[in-house]
Structure 1
Amino acid sequence: MSIVLADHRYGKAENRVVRFRRDTARHEIVDLNVTTTLRGDFADAYLSGDQSKVLPTDTQKNTVYAYAKEKGVATVEGYALDLARHFVDDVEPVSGARVDVEAYPWTRAQVGGNEHDHTWIRSGAEVRTAAATVSDGDGRQVVHVLAGLKDLTLLKSTGSQFKGFLTDAYTTLPETDDRVMATSLVATWRYGAAALADGFDFDAAYATIREALIEQFATLHSLALQQTLWHMGRSALERVPEAAEIRLLAPNKHHFDYDLARFGTDNHGEVFHAADRPYGLIQAVVANDVFPAAPEAWA
């Protein structure tokens, strides 16, 4: 029997970076959580403790903060890509880098009916995400950019049904023509090569895809959450053709009619028990077949 080091990587997780732009009286804020992960010939660090090829995670942390100033954060995707390229291009032992970024939303405080120039309010749980991977191999550099969102909580009070499903001896769920449908969506999409050219507007593409996801959830009469995810993903790729695929993960946040008949009160779909667990977990990958698959982008 032979035991080997089958894989390895390392990095600095969850660097909390807040970047202000103060060059005008109206300040801007970007609030980030950044994780770096490096691949390369680091086996000796594991097998013999030799650190001669290891770029300290503290150095990675410092680079994350320095690049927020030196390169700026015009878009979270571009910032992640700048960092990933730096680690691969400028640190010789590194053959691959991944940088994951979460961006937390803030909205300007209203004072006297006007937006305040330097005061913000944290706006909900939704988070914008981005990841860039850069790797050297076979004499060429391979670059992938992922973008997305998580904890986008959506709910509609009608326009959803669930019936005609498979039943067996353990089925107790009644069919319904009208139910509450709610989810806390995680969506991640991969951009094709066209989006990696200079000048691509990542912010506009993000806004367009987010709008498409919300619109389909709201307007499609849903026969099942699975069907809704398919239409959400398809609409997103149709509106942003530079996106190669989108991966959707949607917990079904169940709402059950609360039995008020016990108290002599009718409940016509007005009062619900919101159950947090257990929950259905629905997933889908929708792809634009113009682009080749790239499973390594998600690793």
Structure 2
Amino acid sequence: MAIVLGSNRYGKAEVRLVRVTRPGDTHGLVDLNVSIALSGDLAATHLTGDNAGVLPTDTMKNTVYAFAREHGVTSPEAFGLLLARHFVTTQEQVTGARISIESYGWERLGPHSFRRAGDYVRTARIFVTPDGTQVVSGLENLVLLNSTASEFRGFPRDKYTTLAETTERILATEVDARWRHRGDSADWDESFEGAKDALVNAFVNTYSASLQQTLFSMGTRVLDSRTELAEIRLALPNKHHYLADLSPFDLENPGEVYIAGDRPYGLIEGTVTRDDAPPASSEWYL
């Protein structure tokens, strides 16, 4: 039986970058966390320790900072594309580059003052390979809650089922969404804001018979409103809320006082896609 090296990659993870622009008295601020992973003809370093094809990860870190100065940062997608194409075109042994970026928002308080906006994290993943380029935008940690217009009933029961059916419940989740572009967007920021707004609007305006139904509604709303997108993947944890038992205190609880559950929680995942969507790179599924 032979033992062989399988797929592999290496890179620099979580390069923290803050870019300040100073065109005048009013400054701009970009705050990113950039991770780089390269693949290609890298077997020698694994099998023999020959590092002739191993671009130092420290060089990758330096490239992030140098590119931020030389090219600026207009959007995480555009910055990621610059980095990915640079590594693939300048390193003969590198045939694939994956750039993953988290973008942290800041709220302007004055010409040069900011407050961290912490309600979600914008994400971007860029893949450049011999098969082409793929851009995946998204967001994480977007917490949404409907205090009504949600139910869960009609489910199968067995001897271990204790959950009662309900026609009235709180529906809360923390959205993790990634959407794949058909090609390069004319305006990455406008595309992101439009997709985010579509997600939120669908959550707000969907009467939910299940979180699965809400997931499909959210994905459909994004694709209906954003023609530049091919498909969207969603992971929606069901953040359970339980009615507090106030009977020991001779108090009724008509759906007003809840215990916010931490764990365990239900996790609903799904992909919503166009039937004519171009095929995705295998990296999309990682």
If the length of structure 2 is used for normalisation, what is the TM-score? 0.98
Give the 5 Å matches for 1:1-299. Answer: 1-109=1-109, 116-136=110-130, 142-193=132-183, 196=184, 200-298=186-284, 299=286
How big is the shift at 1:189? 0.5
CA distance in 1, matches of 2:74, 2:283: 23
**Cα pair 2:13 2:35 within 8 Å, conserved:** yes
Question: RMSD of aligned C-alpha atoms?
Answer: 1.0
CA distance in 2, matches of 1:295, 1:27: 38
CA distance in 2, matches of 1:217, 1:291: 24
How big is the shift at 1:124? 1.4
**Cα pair 2:99 2:125 within 8 Å, conserved:** yes
Deviation sequence 1:171-203 (CA, Å, 0-9, x none): 11111111001000000000003xx16xx1111
CA distance in 1, matches of 2:266, 2:43: 41
CA distance in 2, matches of 1:227, 1:125: 24
CA distance in 1, matches of 2:70, 2:240: 47
**Cα pair 2:180 2:230 within 8 Å, conserved:** yes
CA distance in 2, matches of 1:160, 1:10: 45
1:50 aligned counterpart, secondary structure: coil
Question: How many positions carry a matched residue from both structures?
Answer: 285
CA distance in 1, matches of 2:281, 2:147: 37
Instruction: In structure 2, give the amino acid aligned to 1:215.
Output: N
**Relative to structure 2, which stretch is displaced further, 214-223 or 116-125?**
116-125
CA distance in 1, matches of 2:124, 2:67: 16
Deviant stretches of 4+, over 4 Å: none
How big is the shift at 1:28? 0.7
If the length of structure 1 is used for normalisation, what is the TM-score? 0.93
Deviation sequence 1:130-151 (CA, Å, 0-9, x none): 0111012xxxx51000000000
Deviation sequence 1:253-290 (CA, Å, 0-9, x none): 00000000121011111110001100000001000122
CA distance in 2, matches of 1:37, 1:297: 12
Instruction: In structure 1, give the amino acid aligned to 2:4.
Output: V
How big is the shift at 1:91? 1.4
**Cα pair 2:134 2:281 within 8 Å, conserved:** no
Instruction: In structure 2, give the amino acid aligned to 1:150.
Output: E
How big is the shift at 1:125? 4.3
CA distance in 2, matches of 1:278, 1:126: 22
How big is the shift at 1:6? 1.0
How big is the shift at 1:14? 0.2
Instruction: In structure 2, give the amino acid aligned to 1:61.
Output: K
1:10 aligned counterpart, secondary structure: coil
How big is the shift at 1:213? 0.5
2:111 aligned counterpart, secondary structure: strand
Instruction: In structure 1, give the amino acid aligned to 2:135.
Output: V
* Unmatched 5+ stretches in structure 2: none
**Cα pair 2:105 2:121 within 8 Å, conserved:** yes
* Unmatched 5+ stretches in structure 1: 110-115
